[in-house]
A and B are shown apart, each in its own frame.
Chain A
Amino acid sequence: MKLSQLQAAFQAHILRGDLGIAEQIEGDVQVAKLLRLGVYTTAYTARLVEVLGVSFPAVQVALGTRRFSEQIGAFVRRHPSRVRSARAYGEALPQWLASALDGPRGRGIADLARFEWAVAGAFDAADQVALAPRSLAGVPPAQWPNLRFAFSPTLRRLSIGSNAVAWWRFAGAEQPRPCRWRETLPQQWLVWRQALAVRYRRLSRIETQALDAALAGGSFGQLCGQIDTPTAAQAAAQAATLLHGWFSEGLIVGAAAPE
């Protein structure tokens, strides 16, 4: 058997249980050969479950260790890894959990997984120097309406329709265990990294609209237009307050007013 065929057969055994590779293994006793091959098949699933346990520690707490191993083991068996780094393997897990689990608890755990994936993504996203609030001090008033902003590559926006973040805080020993899984109206969340610390907070309706407009490339003027206040001056003042907060939190890495 050529090397390429041998590797394909071994891989097929690990991923699908195909037995063709057994003929290529030394030993007279089939059971003994399968036990030896089992070291590799067991290790494959165990390693990826372990990796996902590192990426999704709160999901592991929420499901319990045994259920996590079963549930995530099923995910691993249905999703052969195509990523070079095991660290990137969990991207499809939140969606899979959403389809595999039922009820408020299931939907909440899927939300929790999305939140954890956002945290993991912010953790080692690209470094980019954040602008200080005073960066805009020299911008002439006439240019303000045209100002557009570039945001930190660590920023993640999520809409979560459950109390998943409370469970995440519980898993991190930041708050008592919630009474139960609860569905809510969609809540808007922001996850990002400031220096080395991953941060998160809930967004108000007004901030959500303004931030989403700015993230979509909207100008400061358009951002003001998203804020529903009695006067334009009040909208501008509120937008300026939000903007100052984004600068202070290290969310903005670029600002320019194109001609």
Chain B
Amino acid sequence: MIQGFGLGLRPQHYTEVLQSRPDLDWLEIISENYLVAGGKPRYFLDRIRERYPLVMHGVSLSIGSTAPLDFVYLSELKALAQRVRPGWISDHLCWTGVDGLNLHDLMPLPYTVEALRHVASRIGQIQDFLQQRIVIENVSSYITYRSSEMTEWEFIAALTAEADCDVLLDVNNVYVSSINHGFDALQFLDSMPASRVRQIHLAGHSHQGAVLIDTHDTAVAPPVWALYRHAVQRLGAVPTMIERDGNIPALPQLMAEVQRAREAAASCAPQAQR
């Protein structure tokens, strides 16, 4: 059972993770990095798996797309899961393309009843295929659709109930979207279905004029730490990790952020970790 504090595994740190055995309870892999035929990615994956529990995090499910589900991808994902035996498999509440094209981005969904039913149905198919409950992450967004009929947090709560899936709560994404759209981030956190929140992501963002961008290329920002402490107070010590995708620093620098998350959680939720 996955507990405690983890880090997003990146190729820059493969050797150091194996040699220095950093004090991590688990690591998260980007599933797509290992959907390759062979070579270094799979070599290091197997060795790191011998030493750490892993969870799988993908970017290609395109759960919200109106294009057909990609069962070739799902088959590859299932085979990877059989190799990795992850704590869980997660992906994003978004769409990535239609009509055979791929935008390679986490595109936002309108929060409508139509979208809710569509996504819930697809999650059901995916869970049936993978034979496990999946974990869905809230994404950052920069636009709001006129057609939305509910808030993002209402949509997520309804989706988890209808689809019987879990939540990967990205606290940075909550903060970024709250600034971009002017909503109350605490209300978002307070509305999360506590029993469904399986994992927390902490990451950095950057400013582009008046808009915050979910760049994952800086340290976790102070307002995000404050929201994290609030989340832990409400949700308990949910397995938490630092997610870094750009300007990737040396491992000790990321470990310092992991330690900060440990200390923040300990100060807010002295109860036993999940």
Residues of A that sit less than 8 Å from B by CB: 1-4, 6-8, 10-11, 14-15, 23-27, 33, 35-37, 39-40, 43-44, 47-48, 51, 80-87, 89, 123-128, 153-154, 193, 196
7 additional A-B pairs beyond A35-B211, A84-B60, beta carbons within 8 Å, are: A36-B211, A44-B103, A85-B35, A126-B37, A127-B37, A127-B42, A154-B38
Main secondary structure of the interface of B (DSSP, over half): loop
- Asked if B128 lies at the interface with its beta carbon under 8 angstroms from chain A, I say no
- Asked if B115 lies at the interface with its beta carbon under 8 angstroms from chain A, I say yes
- Those 9 A-B pairs whose CB atoms lie nearest each other, nearest first: A127-B38, A126-B37, A124-B39, A4-B66, A124-B36, A26-B144, A39-B142, A81-B102, A126-B38
Residues of B that sit less than 8 Å from A by CB: 32, 35-43, 60, 65-66, 70, 73, 95, 97-105, 107, 109-110, 112, 114-115, 118, 142-147, 208-209, 211, 213
Residue of A nearest to B110 (CB): A6
Taking a contact as CB atoms under 8 Å apart, the answer to whether B145 and A127 are in contact is no
Contact residues in A for B118 (Cβ distance below 8 Å): 3
Give the docked Cα–Cα distance between A35 and B98 (Å).
23
Known contacts A44-B104, A81-B101, A84-B73; A124/B208 CB under 8 A: no
Known contacts A124-B39, A124-B40, A153-B37; A6/B147 CB under 8 A: yes
Known contacts A3-B66, A8-B99; A85/B60 CB under 8 A: yes
Give the docked Cα–Cα distance between A3 and B208 (Å).
29
Q: Give which listed residue, B39, B65, B146, B213, contacts A39 with CB less than 8 A.
A: B213
Taking a contact as CB atoms under 8 Å apart, the answer to whether B60 and A37 are in contact is no
- Interface-central residue, A24, A84, A86, A125, by most chain B CB under 10 Å: A84
Give the Cβ gap from B36 to chain A, nearest Cβ, in Å: 4
Known contacts A6-B145, A44-B105, A48-B104; A125/B209 CB under 8 A: no
22 contacts between A and B (CB under 8 A): A2-B114, A3-B112, A3-B114, A3-B118, A4-B66, A11-B99, A24-B147, A35-B211, A39-B143, A39-B208, A40-B105, A40-B142, A81-B103, A82-B102, A84-B32, A84-B60, A85-B60, A86-B102, A87-B36, A124-B38, A125-B38, A127-B37
Give the docked Cα–Cα distance between A15 and B105 (Å).
13
Contact residues in A for B209 (Cβ distance below 8 Å): 35
Give the docked Cα–Cα distance between A157 and B213 (Å).
43
Taking a contact as CB atoms under 8 Å apart, the answer to whether B114 and A25 are in contact is no
Taking a contact as CB atoms under 8 Å apart, the answer to whether A25 and B98 are in contact is no
Contact residues in B for A127 (Cβ distance below 8 Å): 37-39, 42
Give the docked Cα–Cα distance between A33 and B145 (Å).
11
Q: Give which listed residue, A7, A48, A154, A196, contacts B95 with CB less than 8 A.
A: A7
Contact residues in A for B37 (Cβ distance below 8 Å): 124-127, 153
Main secondary structure of the interface of A (DSSP, over half): helix
Give the docked Cα–Cα distance between A35 and B110 (Å).
19
Contact residues in B for A25 (Cβ distance below 8 Å): 143-146
Taking a contact as CB atoms under 8 Å apart, the answer to whether A7 and B107 are in contact is yes
Give the docked Cα–Cα distance between A21 and B43 (Å).
45
Taking a contact as CB atoms under 8 Å apart, the answer to whether B102 and A1 are in contact is no
Taking a contact as CB atoms under 8 Å apart, the answer to whether B142 and A196 are in contact is no
Give the docked Cα–Cα distance between A80 and B209 (Å).
28
- Interface-central residue, A7, A87, A127, A128, by most chain B CB under 10 Å: A7
Give the docked Cα–Cα distance between A85 and B33 (Å).
9
Residue of A nearest to B38 (CB): A127
Taking a contact as CB atoms under 8 Å apart, the answer to whether B99 and A39 are in contact is no
Contact residues in A for B115 (Cβ distance below 8 Å): 3
Taking a contact as CB atoms under 8 Å apart, the answer to whether A123 and B114 are in contact is no
Give the docked Cα–Cα distance between A10 and B97 (Å).
9
Contact residues in A for B70 (Cβ distance below 8 Å): 84
Give the docked Cα–Cα distance between A200 and B74 (Å).
35
Give the docked Cα–Cα distance between A33 and B142 (Å).
10
Taking a contact as CB atoms under 8 Å apart, the answer to whether A1 and B105 are in contact is no
Taking a contact as CB atoms under 8 Å apart, the answer to whether A24 and B146 are in contact is yes
Give the Cβ gap from A250 to chain B, nearest Cβ, in Å: 13
Known contacts A25-B145, A81-B103, A85-B35; A123/B98 CB under 8 A: no
Give the Cβ gap from A22 to chain B, nearest Cβ, in Å: 10
Residue of B nearest to A125 (CB): B37
Give the Cβ gap from B168 to chain A, nearest Cβ, in Å: 21
Give the docked Cα–Cα distance between A41 and B142 (Å).
12
